[in-house]
């Protein structure tokens, strides 16, 4: 069974620090990778997409992809209390219409 693994957390960081969230996947033919943020009681919101090896930056967010090691990570710089949420990693496999989601990592940013 193809899986996406995330540490459930919570990951606690102080305000202003860098939060590092990691995700590993088992299917080598995975092509597209996404990070979602889900606040408690709300629906998931797409924050980053990454399709090729390396880093992709968008504001305070950086997604990193290493297909050889089968992991994707999300760095949040200058973490804010408003970043406190569960972060879901999702992976798309070639030829499939669905995404495989990890169970999410809870991030807590303390003031």
Partner 1 sequence: SQTIHQWPATLVQPVGSPLSLECTVEGTSNPNLYWYRQAAGRGLQLLFYSVGIGQISSEVPQNLSASRPQDRQFILSSKKLLLSDSGFYLCAWSDSNNQPQHFGDGTRLSIL
- Which residues would be at the binding site for partner 1 (CB under 8 A)? 31-32, 34, 42-46, 49, 88, 90, 92, 94-99, 101-104
Q: Which residues pair with 110 in a beta bridge?
A: 14
Q: How far is CA 110 from CA 54, 73, 76, 79, 81, in A?
A: 30, 21, 14, 9, 6
Give the shortest CB-23-to-partner 1 separation in angstroms: 13
Give the shortest CB-17-to-partner 1 separation in angstroms: 26
CA dist 12 and 110 (Å) reads 7
Taking the least distance from each CB to partner 1, the nearer of 43 and 69 is 43
Taking the least distance from each CB to partner 1, the nearer of 32 and 70 is 32
Taking the least distance from each CB to partner 1, the nearer of 42 and 77 is 42
CA dist 89 and 102 (Å) reads 5
CA dist 42 and 28 (Å) reads 31
Give the shortest CB-53-to-partner 1 separation in angstroms: 16
Give the shortest CB-24-to-partner 1 separation in angstroms: 15
């Amino acid at each position: 069974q193809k899986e996406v693994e995330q540490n459930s957390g919570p990951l606690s960081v102080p305000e202003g620090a860098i939060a590092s969230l990691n995700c590993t996947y088992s299917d080598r033919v995975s092509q597209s990778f996404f990070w979602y943020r889900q606040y408690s009681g709300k629906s998931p919101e797409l924050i980053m997409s990454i399709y090729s090896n390396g880093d992709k930056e968008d504001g305070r967010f950086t997604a990193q992809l290493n297909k050889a090691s089968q992991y994707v990570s999300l760095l949040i710089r200058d973490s804010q209390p408003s970043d406190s949420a569960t972060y879901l990693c999702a992976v798309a496999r070639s030829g499939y219409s669905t995404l495989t989601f990890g169970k999410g990592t809870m991030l807590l940013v303390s003031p």
